[in-house]
Amino acid sequence: MTADAARPMRADARRNYERIIATAREAFTEEGTDVPLDDIAKRACVGAGTLYRHFPTREKLFEAVYRDEVETLAQHAFDLLAELPPGEALEAWMRNQVRYYAERRGLTVALKAALDHESETFALCRTRTQTASGALVSAAQEAGLIRADVTGTDVLRLCHGVGSVSQYAAPEDVERMLGVVLDGLRVERG
């Protein structure tokens, strides 16, 4: 690790970093991942040098945007667990996941395609999402609300599936499909 990497970022540098990521996410969503980096710098109101200092390659910017997206989604799981009963937290998070996959499918596919699936970023993001979904599933299982054989990874895959097909379905059909998935997770009461 270099001395620069070990040193915390100054407040203005942190703001620039965060603004670049937010602007890049927006640009990638609107225009695709081929948008020129200089355009992102202009939209973020930073110089090209500032962008390249933080992100020397397009891939580094992809990684940062992808990590930020995943961190936001994962943190939302823990926030919901703190605010809601376990079953409601799981359902709210699944709805958010489906909505995210539906709305950001193009961005997610492009970012994943740009990343090495064996990279540290990909491994970190996979672990973070599995930990978040696993926490929700465990809490709902401990409350006796969902089946014992369900895993956090199962929930992620189910949300991804419903979100992926939602581009071809009416909103009420997406809601019905998610309802079927949620019913399938629940413990049978007899």
Q: For the packed helices 120-142 and 152-165, what is the interaxial angle rounded to 10 degrees?
A: 110
Same domain, 158 and 90: yes
| Residues 89 and 80: beta-carbon distance below 8 Å | yes
Last residue within a domain, chosen from 11, 33, 56: 56
Q: How many domains does the chain have?
A: 2
Instruction: Output helix, strand, coil percentages for the chain, rounded to the nearest 5.
Output: 80, 0, 20
15-43: pLDDT as tens digits: 999 999 999 999 988 887 889 999 999 99
Q: What is the pLDDT of residue 119?
A: 75
- pLDDT of 2 over the 50 cut: no
Q: What are phi and psi of 146, to 5 degrees?
A: -125, 160
d(CA 49, CA 37): 11
* pTM > 0.85: yes or no: no
Q: Look up tokens 């895959």; give the residue.
A: 157
